[in-house]
Structure 1
Amino acid sequence: MHPDSPISATLVAWGNAWLAGHVGLDEAVDRLERAAGPQVVSSEVTDTPLRRFLADLRVEGLSALRLALPAAGDPLGLTGPPPFNMAAVDAGQAATAVLPGRSLGLVPSLDRRGSSYSGVRWTSMEAGTAAPDLPGLTDAEHALTMAMRSATDALLSVEGPAKAQPSISTTDDGLAPGYPARAHRVAALTARLASVLRVADERGLTSGQIAVRDEALRDLDRAVRRARVAAHHAIIEARHSPDSLRTPPGGSRPRPDNAHPRGA
């Protein structure tokens, strides 16, 4: 799993695009498997291939997938119970499947078997049914912009030896067809900033400079995680808006369910 592209975010983006009719179930799961290998869901009873698990949830009334990107002291996207919260914080990510009257939490981990098999194992757990208190896309983008400015000012005030800047690739935003253009823009920015945060180091800095740098990066990380969650939830908000049937910029019109015989 790529450190700058949480697999939970991929599941939420492509899962919600499938639920909205923009892609088929096979296309969504294929995208997940290209990102991180074979995917299975583990419960107390058995392991189930992700494709079959999602198809079964659709029959049960699956209506949305929510993204959680928590950190220690910041349970972003989580509403309990404690076992799910703790597992999600340890993993740094999770997805929540919203069903009638209940929710299921899905926490990913690396699944290695022998020398050649590498994939993802999702542990299924009961999750709280309350909707998490999260910012909308507009508010999250504004907060991210302000955090970027504050971090830039703080980091420029830290005097250290000049060094080569890290090479940051143009990371895919991770979103699926059907997402609003603004969500794509915000998601692409968060992906690039996540790369910056990952490669930041403290070579040549004093303890005081490190403290300034760490505070600036901590605030930026918080804003990045919130903006990424908001971007991945934007398609859920769009489904309930008056313009939800209009072709989104860069997307496609929802396909009828019978266009996807598997898992529709």
Structure 2
Amino acid sequence: MCCPSATLTVWASAWLSGTAASDDVLDALLAWGEAHEVVAADAETAVSLDLPLAGDFPATPVQLLAALRAHGAGPARLVLPAPGDARGLGGGGSFTEAAMKAGEAVLLPDLGFGLVPVPIAEGLVRWSVHKIPVATGPDHVGLSEAEHGLTDAIRDSAGALQALDVARDRPGVRAELAAKLRARPNLHWPAGTPGRALRVLQRADEVGAILAIAEIDDPGGALSSSAATRRADALRPLNTAVRTARYAAVNEAVRQLTEQADRQP
């Protein structure tokens, strides 16, 4: 499914460009937890943005938004790192380590900071704000490119699994898939979010739900370890294509929302 970082990337960017209210940002985050708190990951960040360090009483998302506006933050950018794919992280350090572990993060390239969400209790998400040690480039992936890549990966992965004879039907798989899709958070997006970006996000979520089922070991351990390894290898390109599609859709939505705001009188 989409992730908290995608929600904050789009809604914070809309708010910073003046096309959404702060309450809209807070309401959107509720899809991921009833409460959100914010801490600085290091002393430099704490001083720069006037945020508490981890271990101190945390700040609220409202305080975070105020700090971003006070420091002139521009549009945010989503990153979805995975082992072997550190696109957009801009080097090592605590931010890269935390983002890689979480599999997601929000970049604030104009300010040189990144935010990483971690669920720390039922209904509670903590956002850690890190100084980015190296300036990051735009790492643009076009929406058409990502959409075509997802289509190609679906075809190639299906063919590879069929050739390996490890794409086996499981009883009740359709019900499993329907349950996973129903369990997705009820997300909403700013007015003016491009329809194509939303369609790509929806398709990526559907394929992601299928992947989550396909990656579960067969009941009773029917697959040998070597077959399971071959299956994982066959699915890896599809995992990458899903992440790329989400990355491209969210960042394209931010780009278009920001441009729409710039055109307003």
Return the match for 2:113 from 100, 104, 115.
104
Q: After TM superposition, give the deviation of residue 103 of structure 1 in Å.
A: 1.5
Query: Which deviates the most, 61-70 or 130-139?
Result: 130-139
Q: After TM superposition, give the deviation of residue 239 of structure 1 in Å.
A: 4.8
Q: Deviations over 1:198-240 (max 9, x none)?
A: 2222322234432332112111001110110110001233256
Q: After TM superposition, give the deviation of residue 36 of structure 1 in Å.
A: 1.5
Q: Partner of 1:237: helix, strand, or coil?
A: helix
Q: For the Cα contact (< 8 Å) 2:18–2:261, is it kept in 1?
A: no
Query: Which deviates the most, 69-78 or 151-160?
Result: 151-160
Query: Which deviates the most, 62-71 or 195-204?
Result: 195-204
Name the TM-score, length of structure 1 as normaliser: 0.80
Name the TM-score, length of structure 2 as normaliser: 0.80
Q: For the Cα contact (< 8 Å) 2:13–2:258, is it kept in 1?
A: no
Q: Which has the higher helix share?
A: 2
Q: Cα distance 1:111–1:205, how it changes in 2: closer, same or farther (>3 A)?
A: closer
Q: Which residue identity is paired with 2:125? A: V
Q: For the Cα contact (< 8 Å) 1:69–1:93, is it kept in 2?
A: yes
Q: Which residue identity is paired with 1:109? A: V
Identity across matched positions, percent? 33
5+ residue gaps in structure 2?
Answer: 47-51, 53-57
Q: Cα distance 1:85–1:19, how it changes in 2: closer, same or farther (>3 A)?
A: same
Distance in 2 (CA, whole Å) between partners of 1:81 and 1:187 is: 29
Q: Which has the higher strand share?
A: 1
Q: After TM superposition, give the deviation of residue 81 of structure 1 in Å.
A: 4.0
Q: Cα distance 1:172–1:34, how it changes in 2: closer, same or farther (>3 A)?
A: closer
Q: After TM superposition, give the deviation of residue 174 of structure 1 in Å.
A: 4.3
Q: After TM superposition, give the deviation of residue 21 of structure 1 in Å.
A: 3.4
Q: After TM superposition, give the deviation of residue 124 of structure 1 in Å.
A: 0.8
Corresponding residue for residue 77 of structure 1: 88
What's the Cα RMSD here?
A: 2.5
Corresponding residue for residue 231 of structure 1: 249
Q: After TM superposition, give the deviation of residue 172 of structure 1 in Å.
A: 6.3
Q: Cα distance 1:53–1:225, how it changes in 2: closer, same or farther (>3 A)?
A: same
Aligned length: 238
Q: Cα distance 1:179–1:120, how it changes in 2: closer, same or farther (>3 A)?
A: same
Corresponding residue for residue 29 of structure 1: 26
Q: Partner of 2:89: helix, strand, or coil?
A: coil
Q: Which residue identity is paired with 2:217? A: E
